[in-house]
Amino acid sequence: MKIAVAADHRGFESKRKLLPLLKQMGHDAEDFGCDGTSNSTDYPDFAIPAAQAVADGRCEAGIFLDGSGIGMSVAANKVRGIRAALAHDEVTARLSREHNHCNVLCLGSDLLNENEIRKIINVFLTTPFGEGRHARRVEKLKQFEQDHRNPGDSSQWSSASTQPPPA
């Protein structure tokens, strides 16, 4: 599976450890940054281009890391077609895939240790969508996105810039 991986300065160390793990698990990871911890970075600068790669099919899933996981989750969910989940444990990771067909996993690297992150990622990447009543619910979300398209939404942003287009 090709996976978009993104982190801000708070998630960088976890991302650095994650990339070889994904390769070991047989996945191909595309690194959307950031590139270190020396400077404070802004999570939308990394979450939005990575989420766009998932939304447009260049990547099959995403794993985004920041201090709490909240910022990456909020930013990713601005991109049409993304269902990003903030998971705190294996249960929430499993449910995000099984019930909500989430395609992006967001993690708080300040709140989870390396072993917890490893377990959560494994569950997220190996859990299939549950279908049934859950499919009906996900379809309603997709329909809402389709019905409420507007020219200023984030799915229209350029990967080179996280600035919205002029109104």
Question: Which residues sit opposite 65 in a β-bridge?
Answer: 7, 107
CB 49 within 8 A of CB 76: no
Closest to 33 in 3D by CA, of 20, 18, 21, 50: 50
CATH number at residue 73: 3.40.1400.10
47 domain-assigned? yes
165 domain-assigned? no
pLDDT tens for the chain, 167 residues: list them.
Answer: 999 999 999 999 999 999 999 999 999 999 999 999 889 999 999 999 999 999 999 999 999 999 999 999 999 999 999 999 999 999 999 999 998 889 999 999 999 999 999 999 999 999 988 777 777 777 777 777 888 776 555 444 444 444 444 44
Q: Which residue has the tokens 């490893």?
A: 118
30 domain-assigned? yes
Number of domains in the chain: 1
Whole-model pTM: value is 0.85
Domain assignment of residue 144, given as a range:
2-156
